[in-house]
Amino acid sequence: MKDNKIYKNITEGTGLIDHYIYREIVYLLIKKLKLNVNPNIVTLFSLIYAISSAFIILSGHVVIGSVMYMFFNIFDLMDGAIARIYRRKSTFGAFIDGLVDLIGESCVILALGVYFNVFTLSLAVLAYILLTHYISIRKKWIYDSKELQKNMMDYTKKPFLFGILVITRNDFRKLIILYGAILNSWELIMSYFFILYSISLINSLIGKNGE
């Protein structure tokens, strides 16, 4: 029987892989290893992990590095769960968690740009991503609104919206990176990120109160 105190504090519906696989792994790790640690340490480790994935891609092992990066979300779910379970939530923790996500993704995109010999294009995509994040943050600051990520499992009866949520979530991004690495297709990866952040930018510009 699952320990509900642990399980209910692992964020639901952040992505299909997150929801059905990584949540179970995080639950087992926290329960079996009794991971009562500072969640910021887990966040820092996740940054090192993401950068290591990028270096593996740079070394020429693009599929291995992409597979490794797929598991980044385990740590992304774990730090927040530990913070909630042991009442260690903080504004600083939430800030560095989001920052580490962005830095990790940026490192991997740049590594892919070098590997596929399209570094200038990867820089352009990265600049676009950073611009989108900046606009989103500025609008939320202006409206003093908090970003609340939707639980995608609440939208299973709305197939179109559910599908949009599936393909724009963190775990799906990593799946696209892996798929592009296997197919040796930088076009797939860069096109996906451009479209993804175009959707995010439009949502930031026209969304109600920046949400």
Q: What is the 3-state secondary structure (H, E, C) of 163-193?
A: HHHHHHCHHHHHHHHHHHHHHCCHHHHHHHH
Q: With a cut of 80, say whether residue 207 has pLDDT above it.
A: no
What's the mean pLDDT when you consider all of the chain?
A: 90
Residue 112 tokens read as 């892919």
| Global confidence as pTM | 0.86
> Could you report the per-residue pLDDT of 114-168, keeping only the tens digit for each?
999 999 999 999 999 998 887 877 666 655 555 556 788 999 999 998 998 899 8
Average pLDDT over residues 188-196: 94
Q: With a cut of 70, say whether residue 111 has pLDDT above it.
A: yes
How confident is residue 209, by pLDDT bands cut at 50, 70 and 90?
A: very low
Residue 36 and residue 57: Cα distance in Å, rounded? 32
Residue ranges and CATH numbers for the domains of the chain are 4-210 (1.20.120.1760)
> Could you report the per-residue pLDDT of 8-32, keeping only the tens digit for each?
999 998 999 999 999 999 999 999 9
pLDDT for 2: 80
Residue 72 and residue 174 in contact, taking contact as beta carbons nearer than 8 Å? yes
Residue 30 and residue 21: Cα distance in Å, rounded? 15
Residue 79 and residue 63: Cα distance in Å, rounded? 26
